[in-house]
Amino acid sequence: MPLVDVILALVWIGLTAYVLFAGADFGAGGWDLLAGGAERGRRQRGLIEHSIGPVWEANHVWLIFVIVLLWTGVPQVFAAVFSTLYIPLTLAALGIIARGSAFAFRKVSTRLWQRRLFGATFAFSSVVTPFFLGTVAGAIASGRVPPGIAAGNLVTSWLNPTSIVTGALAVGTGAYLAAVYLTRDAERAHSPALAESFRRRGLVTGVVVGVVAAVGLVVLHADAPSLFTELTSGRALPLLVLSVAAGLASLVLLWLRVFVAVRITAAAAVVGLLWGWGVGQFPRLLPGVTARQAAATDAVLAATIGAVAVGALLLVPSLWWLYATFQRGSRQEPASASDQEST
């Protein structure tokens, strides 16, 4: 296998981890926005804070991992994407910063107006950030990022039908994953009412995401016909079928309240869709540019792969320990900041 293919596989693994973990964090922020007033949404926000608190910063390691690999492995693609799409990427970066800051400040704020201000910032950023990241994916998928420094249109490259649908799909996918994950967290916290609330949201969101994905295929047919062909009749078709089947299985499991297994099927639905896009577009990375044409030298690629292998020996066990430790944490229902203030 060419070294550049190994790099791209690692990029997609990192992107998959970011979507499954950070995507759910963004989705939880969206549910925070819809939780209601200070009193009515208190228990939901308490569960959300308890669920994402220890891991939300660590999840962005995957985004850094993807960016570094693109920079070193396919610098031509990195330069084109980050120059043509600097507007949505800058907005996404500002959203990540605002979201993290607001989440931390809300946790330690003692006044109601401060918690509301930081809470609104956290929730709003949690919605718009994945949208802008999704528009970037749509721009690449629809072939609107040509090779060269800022060679594409700085506005229409990411404001177009494919990008808008992909942005909506990114927001919906995060919300769906968050609802699925939070049902189990609520069950583990012995809060059946919260589990039932997020179960209903997961069912509704799952149907909505399925409709958006179907609309996305229609848009791709008109906007990116080559990718549409690969997804519907080419080598990516099995992955698309896997995504649909896993999505339907997730709805059934949610309906039956099987909250552990549905985490696996929901993740499989998202992974199938993401890898279907990757397989369908490979080896074309940009219009007229294949993976081998965009690759760095073999010496750079080999050194990068070696560095990833060494780093993985430290990173993967550390993240696994973090996630596993938290999942084995306290099973008592978490208290929100308003509870802590009242005591």
| pLDDT, tens digit (0-9, with 9 covering 90-100), for 244-257 | 999 999 999 999 99
Report helix, strand or coil for 285. Answer: strand
Percent of the chain with pLDDT over 70: 92
Quick check: 341 pLDDT over 50? no
pLDDT of residue 254: 95
Quick check: 145 pLDDT over 60? yes
Alpha carbons 21 and 15: distance in angstroms, whole number:
10
pLDDT of residue 230: 80
The mean per-residue pLDDT over the stretch 97-113 comes to 83
The mean per-residue pLDDT over the stretch 282-299 comes to 93
**Are 163 and 171 spatial neighbours (Cβ–Cβ below 8 Å)?**
no
Quick check: 153 pLDDT over 90? yes
Alpha carbons 262 and 243: distance in angstroms, whole number:
13
Torsion over CA: 9, 315, 93, 44 (sign): positive
Tokens 């993976």 correspond to what residue? 291
Out of 49-53, 152-156, 293-297, 317-321, which region has the weakest mean confidence (pLDDT)?
A: 49-53
pLDDT tens figures, 157-184: 999 999 999 999 999 999 999 999 999 8
Quick check: 329 pLDDT over 60? no
**Are 24 and 287 spatial neighbours (Cβ–Cβ below 8 Å)?**
no
**Are 20 and 319 spatial neighbours (Cβ–Cβ below 8 Å)?**
no
Q: Residue 137, Cβ neighbours under 10 Å: how many? A: 21
CATH architecture of 3-307: Up-down Bundle (1.20)
Percent of the chain with pLDDT over 90: 59
User: Model pTM?
Assistant: 0.88
